[in-house]
Structure 1
Amino acid sequence: MTKKLQRDRSALDIESSKQVDYLKDEVAYRLVDRLLDIKRKYDTIVDLGCGCGHVVKHIDQDITKKLLMCDMSEKMLERDKNMKFDVEVERIVVDEELLPFAENSVEAVISNLSLHWVNDLPGTMIQIQRSLKPDGLFLASMFSGDTLFELRTSLQLAELEREQGVSPRVSPMIDIRDVGSLLARAGFTLTTIDVDDIIVNYPTMFELIKDLKAMGESNAVLARRPFLKRDTLLAAAAIYKDLHGNSDGTIPATFQIGWKPDVSQSKPKPRGSATMSLKDMLEK
């Protein structure tokens, strides 16, 4: 509910929301570029956690005829409803933890920077796997491990100094090393995982925090303290600049993107089932 409210508020401030599309648009472009590596055209693709429509900007008729845009926030879904795209679009309000798709009914599911907010990630992956048709595709990007480590450490050090305690100010991200085991538990096969680091420079820590809020990516951990004192914030900004600042006075923010492409049906042959030896093949 907290995350839905944040996403609703972000979409309602249309001007600010559009100004911070840069990060999700860039990752969506990279996501679709990976989709192009799979030489297949789909009738329909499900875009799970689509936000305002970052993936659809890069999708064309060579990839799919129709994109099913799904998000928990109706306001985000409707923000750019008057825009025209290269493919047919249908918008549906969907909670990522309660997928409405029947078993073996979906050709492909993609997700761009949304799954890191799912409370029951293993459960969602199981639902995705069950909804896919045989040989269906699951392709996703999500914030992982070291995302915003500069902001996290700076806030922690400032709180320890000024308030003698630490509160989770930056939401925890999944360790990319754990993703493979989660996919395997969900029943996926032939999984591949890789990581990109995207570094964005900001004038100060305050511009970074402002952009995160406008993206709907603010901290949603229930155990966090509701307020952060002004002097703690100022101390954190100074620590950030001192520990991580660039020579030109700006500060970097690292967004670590984990990629999880998968084809869910094909399985390796059983050990010992080969009908020709490697030696014979090399001699040909």
Structure 2
Amino acid sequence: MSLPPRLFDRSLLAHRLDRAAGGFTQAHFLRERAVEDLIETLSAINRQFDVALDMAARDGAFGRAIAGTPVADKIDMLIEGELSERLSAQQSGSARLVMDEEALPFGDDSLNLVVNALGLHTVNDLPGVLVQVRRALKPDGLFIGSLFGGETLTELRACLMEAELEVRGGYGPRIAPFAESPDLIDLLKRTGFSMPVVDSDRVSVSYEHPLRLMADLRLMGESNILLKRPRKGLNRAILEKASALYFGRHADAEGRITATFEIITLSGWKAHDSQQKPLRPGSAKMRLADALGVKEGKL
């Protein structure tokens, strides 16, 4: 059986997260937004979770956000897992574990809840990661995760590509591909989750300059980690051309540019006998026309 393709340099990701450790305080607004979406989903669920795992804890935003809230009362123990050892060492309060989302160090049926805020778009084998999560969950356990979707950074991607083509006569991948919502629903089903749900949150962020946007991406640890990333960096000519294109196409009345981020939140349950199941085709005991109180006619 062939192995899934490797798109990302995970060791470089760990290095970038280490480098970005001090930057989360300035550029953590998207992560906060993603965490809010996860907490909103959890708030509506009347369930106690004995052992919960935050797969991509980063700066511990999820643990801080639930502190003192009803969601925290639902979680007996929170484990914060993180690829970056430096970031893990800075946190306290919850159990910390240096781990890779691509190789979960948990046995089958060992967790009640798994969350992942904006850590799934940099894994090489997303189906494999979801299968590992499902196996680690106890029956009737819940997974809630988020990742950047296909509309993310469409403006920057197009401007960089066009600018590099004009200056160098060719271009290399500067921004990773992102998943689409319909594909993720199918993926949750294929990896064995029950009652899958996918929601999309489109966020528009205003910047004074494209270079400020690119600086924020570095502070977030979201700069290019593609294995086949170009070895040549972006020179001044490319950046100036890309900035001019960006201002020309995406500037508002005040001269600020807009950057789009799509945050997709997905959730699913590990199967359990107590969960509702769809009826088998042909098993209905009442006709639709009778239920609606109408007469059945011919077309």
What is the TM-score with the length of structure 2 in the denominator? Answer: 0.87
Amino acid of the structure 1 residue aligned with 2:63: V
Distance across 2 between alignment mates of 1:68 and 1:232: 44
Partner of 1:232: 238
CA distance in 2, matches of 1:275, 1:106: 39
SS in 1 for 2:197: coil
Identity of aligned residues (%): 38
Letter paired with 2:177: P
Map of 1:138 onto structure 2: 143
Q: Report what 1:247 is aligned to.
A: 253
2:166 maps to: 161
Task: Flag structure 1 segments of 5+ consecutive residues without an equivalent.
Answer: 83-87
- Does the 8 Å contact 1:196/1:258 carry over to 2? yes
* CA gap 1:46/1:204 in 2 versus in 1, 3 angstroms: same
CA distance in 2, matches of 1:94, 1:165: 38
Per-residue deviation, 1:63: 2.7
Give the aligned partner of residue 51 of structure 1. 58
Distance, in Å, in 2 between the alignment partners of 1:169 and 1:278 is 53
- Please name the residue that 1:272 is paired with: 282
Rounded Cα–Cα distance in structure 2 between residues aligned with 1:218 and 1:234: 19
Shift of 1:62: 2.5
Deviation (angstroms), 1:3:
0.9
Give the alignment partner of residue 27 of structure 2, picking from 4, 20, 44. 20
Matched, 1:67 2:72: no
5 Å-filtered alignment, 1:1-284, equals 1-11=11-21, 14=22, 16-59=23-66, 60=69, 61-79=72-90, 81-82=91-92, 89-226=94-231, 227-265=233-271, 266=275, 267-274=277-284
SS at match of 2:130: helix
Partner residue in 2 for 1:85: none
In 2: Cα distance, 1:57 partner to 1:108 partner: 17
Matched residue of 1:210: which SS?
helix
**Secondary structure of 2:201's match?**
strand
RMSD across aligned C-alpha pairs, in angstroms? 1.7
Q: How many pairs are equivalent?
A: 274
Runs (4+) off by over 4 Å: 274-283
> Secondary structure at the residue paired with 1:270?
coil
Structure 1, 153-162 or 34-43: larger mean CA deviation:
34-43
TM-score, scaled relative to structure 1: 0.91
- Please, which runs of 5 or more residues in structure 2 have no aligned partner? 1-10, 294-299
Larger Rg: 2
